[in-house]
Amino acid sequence: MAHNFHYYSPTEVIFGRGAHQETGKYIKKYGGTKVLVVYGSERVFKNGLMDEITESMKAEGLTFEFLGGVVPNPHLSKVYMGIGLGKRIGADFLLAVGGGSAIDTAKAVAYGLAEPEEDVWTLFEHTRTAKKCLPVASVLTIAAAGSETSMGAVITNEKTNEKRAYDDDLARPRFAVMNPEFTLSLPNYQTESGCADIMMHRMERYFTNSGNMELTDSIAEGLLRTVITNAKILHNDPQNYDARAEVMWAGSLAHNNLTGCGNAGEFERAGHHADGGTDS
């Protein structure tokens, strides 16, 4: 028996070679004027990506400031730092450049800036729900978490050693820029870990203890086959653009709840999210 479901995936996707050069245009399209750019690794500067993004923002008359140093399992202290910086510059738009950790940090900062009178951590403690969130977008540099099109964010409170998730459609990114070229320089370990992460997101919704939809399961099976096939290709040929593109697109489709439509089961319910992602 197929279960009722609500599918909502409003994120605009700009995919392919050179896609990042349009970042400024899309920020302006979605109302951004003062942008807080969130990133993790300095790789985005070394490979020239950030320079091209900032040039595209300058061309649209946008102002921006950087919040760098985001780490895997992103920290609450960095979120608070971003909220403080965003207040000082009057940020009205969050742009994450990186992977799930940068995107999740940007989402959390966006919640904090939209409701400055509240402690953003209370969202992750689930003692209240968000009423507002500043617009968020991303330029993706690693295929893994799927946060670029999902409703979820996962943040770690270093003081209490708690890793908590919060899901809300308010934080779904307005757009996601995906240029597979900027994953070509990833170490094999990161590429392969990302592929494993994508597959786990699929299996969380595929293995169920109740009703399923044949079409939804077929989409999930196709995604799994695609990731398995292209992970093998990338193991032997890390510079293969087409394989990078397949994996990047699979990462997004694997975690925007498409492959959970009509399915329900114990494996899915055991995770942090129905849609937002257990890892970043």
Q: What is the CATH number of the domain that holds 262?
A: 1.20.1090.10
Assess whether 46 and 115 both reside in one domain.
Answer: yes
- The C-alpha atoms of residue 265 and residue 129 are separated, in whole angstroms, by 25
CA 193-184-50 angle, 5° bins: 105
Domain assignment present for residue 276? The answer is no
Assess whether 167 and 61 both reside in one domain.
Answer: yes
Instruction: For residue 111, count other CB atoms closer than 10 A to its CB.
Output: 27
Residue 100 is predicted with a pLDDT of 92
In b/e form, how buried is each residue of 137-166, taking b as 16+ CB within 10 angstroms? Answer: bbbbbbbbbbbbbbbbbbbbbeeeeebbbb
Residue 1 is predicted with a pLDDT of 63
CA dist 9 → 78, 238, 257, 258 (Å): 28, 30, 8, 8
* Positions of the chain with pLDDT lower than 50, given as ranges: 266, 268-280
Chosen domain end from 182, 204, 225? 182
Assess whether 142 and 203 both reside in one domain.
Answer: no
Cβ within 8 Å of residue 84, ≥6 positions away: none
Chosen domain end from 139, 160, 182? 182
Assess whether 107 and 173 both reside in one domain.
Answer: yes
| Whether the Cβ atoms of residue 106 and residue 136 lie closer than 8 Å to each other | yes
Virtual torsion, Cα 70, 76, 81, 82, nearest 10 deg? 70
Assess whether 138 and 28 both reside in one domain.
Answer: yes
Assess whether 148 and 28 both reside in one domain.
Answer: yes
Domain assignment present for residue 277? The answer is no
Domain assignment present for residue 105? The answer is yes
Total domain count, the chain: 2
Domain assignment present for residue 128? The answer is yes
Query: Does the global pTM surpass 0.85?
Result: yes
Residue 12 is predicted with a pLDDT of 97
Chosen domain end from 182, 205, 236? 182
Return the biggest CA–CA distance within the chain: 53
Q: Which two three-digit tokens encode residue 142?
A: 């690693």
Residue 107 main-chain phi, psi, to 5 deg:
-60, -45
Assess whether 16 and 149 both reside in one domain.
Answer: yes
Q: What is the DSSP letter of 75?
A: B
Domain limits for position 103: 12-182
Residue 268 is predicted with a pLDDT of 44
Residue 279 is predicted with a pLDDT of 33
Q: Which of 133, 167, 138 is nearest to 6 (CA)?
A: 167
Assess whether 153 and 210 both reside in one domain.
Answer: no
CA 255-80-193 angle, 5° bins: 35
Assess whether 94 and 23 both reside in one domain.
Answer: yes
Residue 14 is predicted with a pLDDT of 97
Amino acid at 1: M
- The C-alpha atoms of residue 119 and residue 222 are separated, in whole angstroms, by 42
Assess whether 53 and 75 both reside in one domain.
Answer: yes
Assess whether 108 and 19 both reside in one domain.
Answer: yes
Assess whether 123 and 138 both reside in one domain.
Answer: yes
